Structure 1
């Protein structure tokens, strides 16, 4: 993973985990994996996607993540494994479904992770992932990076939009094809992200978990305050004080080919 800091489960949940759970539920519903199958959640984090899988019916889920702090938060019904998504500690053709949520862009050389997903998938298995649309779709982060770059121009180099080219629909489709996967489809998933007020929006940025919060805590108090106030002045606020935003992710789904079809 990158140096964007991913260790403290509670801080991650406040920042983005609560929204990723909404995306995960929509993502799993559309995969069409029958009950009772063996799943791998690669880069499972605090278990948003793992939880969504377990709520759909009987399933055996293994969650892999490099962060032992995150692994302590995944559901007890899943099997936690400390490991690297780009070097999975499993035999070839081990899983009926291989999925990954909001993790690919944090793997150096994501194509290596996707090749690993294809390797450990059984013939006919679903291989799927979703990533935030950092360019325009993840609005809470877009407000932050736009304001940060105005206050500290160097912040533009840390902006997740240009930093993560895999987080675009054409790149996902091409990466799945390169890994030898078939029946590839992509779609957008949009969920509401309604904040109770500005404090509910801003406090998670102070937790240090994720690219934007990890960057923010390196700045002097004066710059942090200026970024905060610029964002506060721009956010839409309802009469009850809530802040209604949305978050969008790109999802990709493919199938591991049978030997007769060729593949990776």
Structure 2
């Protein structure tokens, strides 16, 4: 899958920036899927293994595979102690290196908006899942302001700063996800919203985490000191701290699931 200007190369930075968010949404997502034990799972766009770790820990799988275009992210995933039995391959979501009907379930966590041709990516998931198996995904509602760091991005845009965007942001809309699953001829299609909350120790914790963003981290690092301070003050003003100093941020994802026809 091609991500345009957004490249994921630092597994540790991604873990702090997005891995925790992925797991927060993933908890509700897996509850919703209600999988049976003993299945063979594929994590499409597995990245640094944040969600893959949940498949191993919560689903009692027979096997877990992960595919991702970033070898740097896969190095991090392979180093997770909980994933020593998982199998990872470098590859593209639109042309996955697996035979037909190889898995019982394929999931795509926080990835579909990075796939240049989302319909092709969904069709590929359907191809590698056996008849009757699950094809599912969740993605931040990019168009609806559900991205966890939307406050920062909105302030950057308000200052005239160009923010890199994934190639297919509309694919995260709940109606579009349903259409993509229907277009892949999947059965028993369902959708839902997932709202999650994450608490940061204080604003500095939030800001340091945001600096690890593959989308805007380099932009922030290259800004003039006074411009960065101005932006930081605007963002701080939109994220009121609790009496303890903690800051709680919300995010909203859309999820979809369906089954390969028998």
> Paired residue for 1:122?
130
Cα gap change, 1:76 to 1:105, in 2 (>3 Å): same
> Paired residue for 2:189?
184
Gaps of 5+ in 1: 259-264
- Helix, strand or coil: the match of 1:244? strand
Gaps of 5+ in 2: 78-82
Distance apart, 1:139 and its partner CA? 5.7
> Paired residue for 2:80?
none
Q: Distance in 2 between matches of 1:124 and 1:214?
A: 44
RMSD over aligned CA atoms reads 1.9
Q: Deviations over 1:24-56 (max 9, x none)?
A: 122112213211111110000111221111112
Q: TM-score, normalised by structure 2?
A: 0.90
- Helix, strand or coil: the match of 1:232? helix
Distance apart, 1:138 and its partner CA? 3.3
Q: TM-score, normalised by structure 1?
A: 0.90
Pick the aligned partner of 2:66 from 54, 63, 67.
63
Q: Deviations over 1:85-119 (max 9, x none)?
A: 11100111111001010011111111111110011
Distance apart, 1:58 and its partner CA? 2.4
Q: Distance in 2 between matches of 1:228 and 1:94?
A: 48
Distance apart, 1:223 and its partner CA? 3.0
- Helix, strand or coil: the match of 2:170? coil
The alignment covers a number of residue pairs equal to 254
Please state if 1:109 is matched with 2:117: yes
> Paired residue for 1:158?
164
> Paired residue for 2:37?
35
Please state if 1:96 is matched with 2:91: no
Q: Which consecutive segments of 4 or more residues in structure 1 shift more than 4 A?
A: none
Q: Distance in 2 between matches of 1:213 and 1:95?
A: 36
Cα gap change, 1:23 to 1:91, in 2 (>3 Å): same
> Paired residue for 2:215?
211
